[in-house]
Chain A
């Protein structure tokens, strides 16, 4: 496939070896299929670029220049970059484009496989510039095309008239589909039109400017916006024209405002500078300014109202589960996140792990009703397996998302000691990932309260039976130390 075979076809009068020119006729516009077929045929027969005459339009006379079916010729083995630049450059309006592209293909097949890497080569340089012109034309069409709504249309239908420089409608249309998928629209150009009916993209005959609505109800507002967002103190017409050349202006309603804006710019700026600073006419809203500082929730109830209104970060939970216990409790327990039971009842530590915690507290001499119990994350996160909702551990991002509330909550409760139950609670309170086994016991959270780290009761539930008893005893022992610490801090 790669090696060209210069075998003259018997039928062609002008063979590759003779010096005669070979004429190729392609259809107007971007005839990528025609070019691909011709390039395969010519390269396959070893016809050098200087003996090909590329023309656009119908072949003169019907004899001798029939187009063979493209399937007859083997595809050319070209680097991917070549195919990409061909697809771009065929869209260019320059009549020389096919000759240049065939030149490129010829050289790539004749030993310069990596020719496209040599941007300094005059041919590559020229093709790159043409590809860039296409990219720019596409970009400007995406940017500067303006839709007008067909009055009274339902569902809404929009029509635009646009005049691209090159043959790009086909290449530009997918962008509009991806963006305006829920609308019905038509783009008219002097060469062809494209329509989207919410489902299918179709191409049709050329359009005329008059085929688009003459006005749109939002154009005046858009022009208002355009005028108001302009800063006369920074007038820079060259920069505007470089990015938005005048040829586009006639299809952009807002550009009608430009002459007026430019005319008044200097005077408006001068007036701003010359005007002496004014004393404010209105009274200084001193009380409102002072009140502004009091926005933060001023009580646990106020904070809880905010948490209750919030949506779960991961969708699914029935409700936010708030902390429970007296404000001013000397000991606060922070768990991980509500589980299935907590989510249904809207109370913390009421499921199996919570019941285990209650039992252990009792054995350690702690009164649950005197303590404050809450969770680092306020919503239940789970995976549904059949009818069961299986708890899922919160990620570090979820803990961060909720940690502001935990911080404020503990500010209001103001305990002397905070017990972190498990790694998630430690992460929420310290911002650090700390292995529980190493850190178990009294800890410094760098907060106004003392800290203590132990396991989460759900950990005990997951242990194999033979390990459970010992682990539970250790947990109760931890809670006893908590109890003592609580007392000594009170003293």
Chain B
């Protein structure tokens, strides 16, 4: 690989790394026909992990980090002094193909700073995807970060080649957007997300290809004063009304050459972790946004206990739950029981009465679950759920997933 290309790669990978979404999931399973290269697996594959514990699944780069926008939280804003570079369409295609052939990646996640105009930029992004598909028989995963300010027909075209389109909400409120991202407009973003959502649904019904792995978005956490409750409600709206596949939460991270209107310190990574847990409760545990809100204090999720446990501690009267009798919905509310463990419990109890040892084999978090459940040979003695020190006994030791 020549040194010029390597240099651009270093700059434009560094510039893209603040986008949390990395997954290669959701695409319908497909594999290469004769003369083609690439496949998708459904769940996606992480090909490596960096020392931040994050997965490398896609080649995540920007086409360019030159940008006319001036979003305070972004390392690539026009007023930042970072080094700039720009790939040609062909260079991105080459990197994707060559990395893919060596089994380094599942595909490409391409985003870009806004150069010349949103339309011009969007056209370039689509050209990369189109060239990979048309000229190179590439069947791997392509995620395009769409530019909401681009003309709607360009988004129509991008959806024909990409597996996933995403548009970042970035900041959850209109006021924050106005303060931190002056060129962005909440209504325009919402409109583009709605357009993509509508077209994905229509294409599914018509068995046609349009962003088959759905749509995702990212919200930055901690750059403004938005509470966890407000973030979760926003996500519930995006899942419910816009049919999004994933909302990514990205704890605002210090960036080289930071802007003076941002908080100096990043929020604890644990906050991001708790938000993901709250998000999972919405998507897989039949929690309503109100339930998750109920697990917060002043709108914020506790850092030392997970949101499901927080909810259970507030609703102690509904526990303990009998694992041999309770319905699925209530079992899902037991701290320490995951959705998979619950399904196994329901299957197994058709054939046997579950004892505590049996439950221990079905979940890896019996310690947390134990005070909240009843088994054939076990009842939490002396109303363990009433103990005042229960929270302290179950909380994580007070250390945070943070550098300092």
User: Smallest distance from the beta carbon of B160 to chain A beta carbons, Å?
Assistant: 8
Chain A, Cβ-Cβ closest to B360: A120
Q: C-beta contact mask, B145-163 vs A, less than 8 Å → 1, else 0?
A: 0000001110011001000
Q: C-beta contact mask, B35-53 vs A, less than 8 Å → 1, else 0?
A: 1111101000111111111
CA distance A261 to B50 in the complex (A): 9
Chain A, Cβ-Cβ closest to B341: A119
Q: Is the Cβ of B354 less than 8 Å from the Cβ of A120?
A: yes
Chain B contributes a number of interface residues (CB within 8 A of A) equal to 97
B186 lies within 8 A of chain A by Cβ: no
Known A179-B38, A181-B37: A273·B17 in contact at CB below 8 Å: no
Residues of A within 8 A of B277 (CB): none
User: Smallest distance from the beta carbon of B374 to chain A beta carbons, Å?
Assistant: 15
B243 lies within 8 A of chain A by Cβ: no
CA distance A295 to B123 in the complex (A): 12
A467 lies within 8 A of chain B by Cβ: no
Q: Is the Cβ of B347 less than 8 Å from the Cβ of A400?
A: no
A9 lies within 8 A of chain B by Cβ: no
Residues of B within 8 A of A142 (CB): 41, 45
User: Smallest distance from the beta carbon of A214 to chain B beta carbons, Å?
Assistant: 15
User: Smallest distance from the beta carbon of B111 to chain A beta carbons, Å?
Assistant: 13
Q: Is the Cβ of A277 less than 8 Å from the Cβ of B116?
A: no
CA distance A252 to B104 in the complex (A): 10
Known A117-B351, A229-B56: A146·B103 in contact at CB below 8 Å: yes
Known A122-B361, A231-B17, A295-B118: A147·B101 in contact at CB below 8 Å: yes
Q: Is the Cβ of B257 less than 8 Å from the Cβ of A275?
A: yes
Q: Is the Cβ of A404 less than 8 Å from the Cβ of B51?
A: no
Residues of B within 8 A of A114 (CB): 350-351
Q: Which stretch (A27-35, A50-58, A236-244, A339-347) binds chain B?
A: A236-244
A12 lies within 8 A of chain B by Cβ: no
B54 lies within 8 A of chain A by Cβ: yes
B124 lies within 8 A of chain A by Cβ: no
B117 lies within 8 A of chain A by Cβ: yes
Residues of B within 8 A of A456 (CB): none
User: Smallest distance from the beta carbon of A265 to chain B beta carbons, Å?
Assistant: 7
Residues of B within 8 A of A444 (CB): none
A285 lies within 8 A of chain B by Cβ: yes
Q: Is the Cβ of A404 less than 8 Å from the Cβ of B153?
A: yes
B114 lies within 8 A of chain A by Cβ: yes
Chain A contributes a number of interface residues (CB within 8 A of B) equal to 90
CA distance A117 to B351 in the complex (A): 8
Q: Is the Cβ of B10 less than 8 Å from the Cβ of A148?
A: no
Q: Is the Cβ of A240 less than 8 Å from the Cβ of B156?
A: no
A425 lies within 8 A of chain B by Cβ: no
Q: Is the Cβ of A237 less than 8 Å from the Cβ of B51?
A: yes
B173 lies within 8 A of chain A by Cβ: no
User: Smallest distance from the beta carbon of B82 to chain A beta carbons, Å?
Assistant: 10
Q: C-beta contact mask, B214-249 vs A, less than 8 Å → 1, else 0?
A: 000000000000000000000000000000000000
Q: Is the Cβ of A235 less than 8 Å from the Cβ of B52?
A: yes
User: Smallest distance from the beta carbon of B93 to chain A beta carbons, Å?
Assistant: 14
List 27 contacting pairs A-B, 8 Å CB cutoff, sorted by A: A117-B350, A120-B348, A149-B101, A160-B103, A178-B32, A179-B32, A180-B37, A181-B35, A220-B6, A221-B95, A222-B104, A225-B13, A225-B99, A226-B50, A229-B56, A234-B53, A234-B403, A240-B49, A243-B49, A243-B53, A255-B48, A266-B403, A272-B254, A273-B264, A284-B78, A295-B120, A310-B157
